[in-house]
């Protein structure tokens, strides 16, 4: 959380993996991703990191899939998730567990006891998210280091 400011590095010491999360309804949170990544890499060096765009269930998305390029520049795994609908909630954790265990075939054998979803993502919206991600992944990366918003 950004409110911890200068205390952040202390939380990173001895970190073995990380999830950097931003809010797809707030551009500023995505613009802060490079700072979080830089700080993590400075303290923890070579750890597996997952980037997550949260709140994909919300209609007024401000950070579009095609604008999310940081993970491609830094070779990070990226997932779009919705904490409120439980959409893709397990994917960043499974990815990191596989990396830490050194086992790409690792599977979770039991589902966690989750609260019921607060919202539902309909199948059409889910398919649209996945199509937008696939289209974005096939686009060439921008030449500059700045993530540009249309």
85, part of any domain: yes
Q: 50-99: per-residue pLDDT in tens?
A: 999 999 999 899 999 899 999 999 999 999 999 999 999 999 999 999 99
Domain contains 150: no
Does residue 142 lie within any of the structural domains? no
Cβ neighbours of residue 131 under 8 Å, at least 6 residues apart? Answer: none
Mean of pLDDT over the chain: 86
Assess if residue 12 is contained within a domain: yes
Task: Note the pLDDT of residue 73.
Answer: 94
Q: Is residue 111 part of a domain?
A: no
State how many domains the chain has. 1
Query: Whole-model pTM above 0.85?
Result: no
Note the pLDDT of residue 112: 74
> Tokens 């686009």 appear where?
139
**CATH, residue 81:** 3.40.50.300
Does 6 map to a domain? yes
* Full DSSP string of 88-117: TTTHHHHHHHHHHHT-TT---SS---PPPP
Distance between CA atoms of 47 and 45, rounded to whole angstroms? 6
> Which domain covers residue 133, as residue numbers?
2-106+118-137
Residue 101 falls inside a structural domain: yes
DSSP 24: T
Domain assignment present for 146: no
pLDDT of residue 16: 96
């Amino acid at each position: 959380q950004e409110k911890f400011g200068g205390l952040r590095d202390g939380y990173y010491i001895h970190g073995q993996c990380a999830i950097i999360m931003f809010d797809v309804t707030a551009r500023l949170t995505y613009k802060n991703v490079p700072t979080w990544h830089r700080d993590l890499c400075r303290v923890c060096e070579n750890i597996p990191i997952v980037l997550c765009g949260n709140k994909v269930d919300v209609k007024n998305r401000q950070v579009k899939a095609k604008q999310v390029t940081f993970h491609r520049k830094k070779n990070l795994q990226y997932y779009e998730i919705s904490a409120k609908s439980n959409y893709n909630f397990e994917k960043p954790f499974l990815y990191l567990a596989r990396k830490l265990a050194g086992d790409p075939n690792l599977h979770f054998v039991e589902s966690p006891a989750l609260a019921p979803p607060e919202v539902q993502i309909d199948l059409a919206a889910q398919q649209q998210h996945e199509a937008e991600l696939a289209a974005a992944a096939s686009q060439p990366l921008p030449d500059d280091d700045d993530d540009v918003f249309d």
